[in-house]
Structure 1
């Protein structure tokens, strides 16, 4: 399945939430406003917008955390876009259990920092946000 076929839709995200395994906080009017404010601040990948339409944040079974949109906006204000050589600019939206930032690029790929810093090297973690959510470690 290529990245275009893996694009998120709200129905898939809702089904993923229902499957369990992750602790999710469903989207609210407040989180939708925060997501809208994030979009006003910087263009975000469409998959992230879809994710935030359904949920506000999540804790995955392996300890990774998908940040709420207000946190993503704060991280963007502090660090800006993440530059990854040969890749479209990326936005930090999650953190690993050991505190390493995860960034979603405009191409839809998810990258993980090799250290707890946003200024270090990022390695490819998943070919899509959907794959990122399905990783079982």
Structure 2
């Protein structure tokens, strides 16, 4: 998974924060990813992970803490939860600003599955929520939570 590995993830983005955060991933059992690029300034990268027991919920909690606790190195940059609770069992829409290209992350949980989607170049929260709904629908095929 060459494009699904790398520095696009919310975990990797935490390097813009002065304070340390625990890794999001807790005892993953499996993962699968896909990447789509329309232009150098636009990309969609998705990674779906299956977790043991309650670890999918722990991952979502850690994502919330990472974003809300972030104290950026650069005062021109920010990381914020723009919306939550709009898809699946749990969902977050996270926005990063200050590096020139809008970036959004979607985290959607259905049962023991968590999808993390990076939307590089996407600045429309309504479009991000629409994508999250589609992600949640696709996760139903992989879990008994639906």
TM-score surpassing 0.5?
A: no
| TM-score (ref. length: structure 2) | 0.33
| TM-score (ref. length: structure 1) | 0.35
More strand by percentage:
2
More helix by percentage:
1
User: For the pair shown, which has the larger CA radius of gyration, 1 or 2?
Assistant: 2
